Amino acid sequence: MRILLVRPKPHKDTIGLQSIMICEPLELEYLAAAVKGKHQVVLVDMILEKRSLAYFIKDYQPEVVALTAYISHVNIIKEYAGVIKKINPGIKIIVGGVHAEVVAEDFFGKNIDFIVTGNGIEVFSELVDDIEQGVYKEQQDTLFYGEKAENVPNIHPNRKITQRYRASYYYVFHNPCALVKTSYGCPYTCSFCFCRQVTGDKYYERDVADVIEEIKRIKEPEIYIVDDNFLYSKKRVEKFCDLLEQEGIKKRFLIYGRADFIAQNEKTIERFAIMGLRAVIVGLETAKEEELELYNKKSSKAVNEKAIEVLAKYNVDCYGTFILGIDWDTEDFDYLYKWLKKWDLQFINLQPFTPLPGTPLYDRYKEQLIIPREKYEQWDLANLVVKPSKLSIRSYYYNILKIYFKLTLKPRSLKKNMKYGLLANVKLSLGVSRIIWQYIKKILSI
């Protein structure tokens, strides 16, 4: 069968990191690998394409279209499904991705035929076979396929399917950049986390030797390991470094990692830095002790600061992510700014507290929403979705902008970023300016 895999573009109302990063659609590359040799597969990345989805549907004439999505893509996916069915009602439409696995009902609709609710890679292959053989049950309603996975995929992604786009995939200063996933889930229990819902609080690891075999086939010099937390097992990280050295692999790595591991395992970080660790995205979350406890981070302000020091000592950039409380006032924003100014992180991402559907926090805060759940495109961890208790909405956004402006425009930050070259800085500046303009429009519209 002819299968078209589609990565959706973001909605115009989504304030997103796509302005400073466009990464390869790894989940779709895994789907392509799962059906390789059995079906004809083409992938379309609508973030990068200038032509419409309708063009590709008419040109390729697929029998199956599979789309992947986060919460902010729900309405885009439904729009795409309508376009596809209008061209050819016989095309079967499959929707998957992390949001579909946790809150499948958000995608329910007359134009979507199947929703994959778990174990996507294996289920997709089986579902496509069922469609080809016509053994599924025809009915009016959307069919749900899949259960929570009990193991990790034993295949490598098919990166050839994104060959024409690969030069355009990057993450901030990491360009060009490829993605690798070495584990699924997270063993920690942070109260705000959506990722836990995907694997049902379970944690699975790939064999490190198999990960190395995958990396050996990657051409890009930069590798972004997209595990929810790569720094979990000291033994596993050290084995990873050992194998990098044994195989003579020279890559630069960006990873997610917890502050407590970094603070407690300085020698491991030193070794990893020698083997190519370039930056760590750390969920620092807040500069306040009581908020770390509220988020069940099992960390502390002192541990966070120690982690920043360790990374700086070995010339590893710290990309800090932070949750902005809905009960904050101007003093709270000023406190965070002073703390950030002191610690001089390479990159920061400020996220207004967002109780995502599918998490226990959503039910607790759903009566305080200022953005309806149905406006999915604004559930992007950048728009304010819960009414702040001490500031007006306009003032809240203004305080976010003020921190970004004061930190990114200070001479020291500009000078520090020049190590990545003029082109990378121009690209980042243009992306940041687009995000800032989106915030300004939010403020002016209130």
Measured CA to CA, the distance from residue 299 to residue 310 in angstroms comes to: 16
User: Same domain, yes or no, for 167 and 277?
Assistant: yes
- Number of structural domains found in the chain: 2
On the 0-12 / 13-18 / 19+ scale of CB atoms within 10 A, 297 is buried
Which one, of 29, 21, 26, lies nearest residue 47 by Cα?
A: 21
Q: Is residue 399 part of a domain?
A: yes
- Judge whether 44 and 7 are in contact, CB under 8 Å: yes
Higher-pLDDT residue of 116, 80 = 80
Tokens at 433, concatenated: 């300016």
Q: Is residue 150 part of a domain?
A: no
pLDDT at 41: 98
User: Same domain, yes or no, for 294 and 434?
Assistant: yes
Which one, of 21, 126, 28, lies nearest residue 68 by Cα?
A: 28
pLDDT at 432: 83
User: Same domain, yes or no, for 229 and 338?
Assistant: yes
Measured CA to CA, the distance from residue 159 to residue 162 in angstroms comes to: 6
The mean pLDDT value for 308-323 works out to: 98
User: Same domain, yes or no, for 130 and 199?
Assistant: no
User: Same domain, yes or no, for 322 and 399?
Assistant: yes
How is 302-314 classified by DSSP, letter by letter?
A: HHHHHHHHHHHHT
Decide which of 117, 145, 173 is a domain's last residue: 145
Domain hosting residue 381, numbered range: 160-445
Tokens at 130, concatenated: 């069922």
Tokens at 353, concatenated: 């507290």
User: Same domain, yes or no, for 169 and 311?
Assistant: yes
pLDDT at 140: 47
The mean pLDDT value for 62-88 works out to: 97
User: Same domain, yes or no, for 174 and 81?
Assistant: no
Measured CA to CA, the distance from residue 57 to residue 86 in angstroms comes to: 11
Instruction: Return the CATH number at 253.
Output: 3.80.30.20
Measured CA to CA, the distance from residue 30 to residue 157 in angstroms comes to: 4
Phi, psi of 327 (to 5 degrees): -100, 15
User: Same domain, yes or no, for 114 and 195?
Assistant: no
Instruction: Return the CATH number at 8.
Output: 3.40.50.280
Measured CA to CA, the distance from residue 347 to residue 408 in angstroms comes to: 9
Kindly indicate the confidence band of residue 147, based on its pLDDT and cuts at 50, 70 and 90. low
Least confident interval from 25-39, 53-67, 147-161, 265-279? 147-161
Measured CA to CA, the distance from residue 26 to residue 43 in angstroms comes to: 11
Higher-pLDDT residue of 147, 32 = 32
Decide which of 145, 175, 195 is a domain's last residue: 145
Model pTM?
Answer: 0.93
Higher-pLDDT residue of 138, 68 = 68
Per residue in 381-433, pLDDT tens?
999 999 999 999 999 999 999 999 898 777 677 677 888 888 888 888 888 88
pLDDT at 249: 98
pLDDT at 146: 59
User: Same domain, yes or no, for 141 and 164?
Assistant: no
How is 252-283 classified by DSSP, letter by letter?
A: EEEEEE-HHHHHH-HHHHHHHHHTTEEEEEEE
**pLDDT exceeding 70 applies to what percent of the chain?**
96
